[in-house]
């Protein structure tokens, strides 16, 4: 999806295109991976209030531009990928570093569950990265 497609989707949902929305679109299109709301706000030059940011993020999720995960009482957002090509992550519970898995741990035959057409899923592994594990081992000595 490019910026113009997103703008057109917003228009079809009768959403206004504000300076903040346009800037948020650009930030997400130029960022790999997830962004939390606080980091997003720091990147915005327009500095809208948090309720505006959350409303805009929900609008972006509604039109299929962004996907959201909830982790450690924070919401994380990233550009939604096509369902056929998507990523899963493992994150360090100590430092928060994320790594993309090179496989999908959820296998759905024919992408169907009785009574449903599966359109997506969320799955995240949590662990401790090697750097944090080393620090932990040094602190235990």
Alpha-carbon radius of gyration of the chain? 18
Alpha helices in 1-141, H assignment, sequence order: 3-12, 19-29, 37-43, 50-62, 130-140
Q: What are phi and psi of 47, to 5 degrees?
A: 50, 55
User: Is 86 known as a binding-site position?
Assistant: yes
Residue 104 marked in a binding site: no
DSSP reduced 3-state for 19: helix
Task: Please tell me the CATH code under which domain 3-79 is placed.
Answer: 1.10.10.10
Tokens matching residue 9: 């989707």
95: annotated binding-site residue?
yes
What fold does the segment set 89-140 form as a domain?
Dna Ligase; domain 1 (3.30.1490)
What does the pLDDT profile of the chain (141 residues) look like in tens digits? 678 888 888 888 777 788 899 999 999 999 888 899 999 999 999 889 999 999 999 988 888 888 888 877 888 898 887 544 567 778 888 887 878 777 776 655 455 677 777 666 667 778 899 999 998 888 887
Assign 71 to helix, strand or coil. strand
Q: What is the torsion angle, in degrees rounded to the nearest 10, for the CA atoms of residue 114, residue 116, residue 121 and residue 125?
A: -30
Token code pair at residue 46 = 């327009």
CA 71 to chain CA centroid, nearest Å? 11
Taking the domains of the chain in order of start, what are their residue ranges?
Answer: 3-79, 89-140
């Amino acid at each position: 999806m490019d910026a113009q497609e997103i703008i057109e989707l917003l228009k079809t949902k009768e959403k206004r295109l504000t300076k903040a929305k346009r800037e948020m679109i650009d930030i997400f299109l130029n960022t790999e991976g997830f962004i939390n709301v606080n980091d997003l706000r720091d990147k915005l030059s327009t500095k809208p209030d948090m309720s505006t940011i959350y409303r805009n993020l929900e609008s972006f999720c509604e039109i299929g531009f962004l996907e959201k995960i909830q982790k450690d009482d924070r919401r994380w957002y990233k550009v939604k990928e096509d369902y056929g090509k998507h990523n899963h992550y493992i994150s360090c519970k100590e430092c928060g570093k994320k790594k993309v898995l090179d496989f999908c741990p959820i296998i759905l035959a024919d992408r169907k569950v009785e009574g449903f057409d599966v359109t997506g899923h969320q799955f995240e592994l949590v662990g401790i990265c090697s750097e944090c594990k080393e620090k932990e081992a040094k602190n235990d000595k």
